[in-house]
Amino acid sequence: MATSLKSLSHKLGYHFKDDALLTLALTHRSYSDPNNERLEFLGDAVLNYFITQKLFHEYPHHQEGNLSRLRANLVNRDILAVLAKQLDISQHLYLGAGELKSGGLERNSILADAMEAIIGAIYLDGGTQACQDRIITWYSDAFIDSSSRGLKKDPKTQLQEYLQAHKMNLPVYTLISIEGNEHTKIFHLECHIDALKQTSTGRGSSRRRAEQDAAQHSLLALGKMTET
């Protein structure tokens, strides 16, 4: 394994048996094909499963809605990007020249996608237990923070309640495009608030995640949230 990948493996707390999986997880689509999109798809599902399992056992008296809000606080682009920055993932990413020039190494969406891809790679390389151990370790501070903040509502709910409180029409979410193939789709959409003549964009691996992303950007524009 190359020195840089050894350094990253040490920070991840996991040594890959198949180095090629880690390299692939760090490869953005702007750099080459194959890239990390399939691993990102897998990592997204694996992460959601383990976080859901953790919340289910830690909060035995919470109903489904509360558990969903707690999970949304933990499994989102901003939290994943924070984890990626803590692990210095950007130093090891493979990006195309255009993405490098436009600041892709610091872009939350790219960092979050790489983090999910690494999760997928560890799952394939080391199995269920190894992957679960890494996720729970990485998320230890986030779990404490989420618990102390309580049941914060997701961005889409916050935006809806804000507009209703100000007697404004609800936002309109419009799908703009879908990238990728059947298993690695990326949804792009707009969130338009008519009364404010404001439009924000969002992206995600599902339409729901893209809507949450767009709603969060709308809230940021309204001054109702601060970026992580």
Same domain, yes or no: 116 and 9: yes
- Tally of CB atoms within 10 A around 159: 27
For the residues 165-175, what does the mean pLDDT come to?
92
- Answer whether residue 179 shows pLDDT above 70: yes
Residue 116 among the catalytic residues = yes
More confidently predicted of 119 and 149: 119
The whole model's pTM is what? 0.68
Range of the domain at 107: 3-149
- Identify whether 228 is part of a domain: no
Cα dihedral across residues 88, 208, 66, 199: positive or negative? positive
Nearest Cα to Cα of residue 77 among 218, 214, 190: 214
Read off the pLDDT of each residue in 84-95 and give the average, rounded to a whole number: 93
Has 37 been annotated as catalytic?
no
pLDDT at 67 over 70: yes
Q: Is 100 part of a structural domain of the chain?
A: yes
Determine the pLDDT at residue 111.
Answer: 94
Instruction: Indicate whether 61 pLDDT > 90.
Output: no
Query: From CA 137, how far away is CA 215, in angstroms rounded?
Result: 29
Residue 188: beta bridge partners?
177, 203
* % pLDDT > 70, the chain: 92
Q: Is residue 178 one of the residues assigned to a domain?
A: yes
227 assigned to some structural domain: no
Name the catalytic one among 116, 125, 154, 211.
116
Which strands sit side by side in the sheet containing 186-193, from one edge to the other?
172-179, 186-193, 198-204
Q: Mapping DSSP to helix (H, G, I), strand (E, B) and coil, where does residue 18 land?
A: coil
Whether residue 74 is found in the same domain as residue 168: no
CATH number where 109 lies: 1.10.1520.10
Whether 98 is in a domain gets the answer: yes
Same domain for 123 and 164? no
Out of 40, 44, 154, 211, the active site residue is 44
DSSP for 158-195 reads: HHHHHHHHTT-PPPEEEEEEEES-TTS-EEEEEEEEGG
Total count of domains within the chain: 2
Domain boundary residue, one of 149, 183, 205? 149
Q: Are 180 and 172 contacting, i.e. CB atoms less than 8 angstroms apart?
A: no
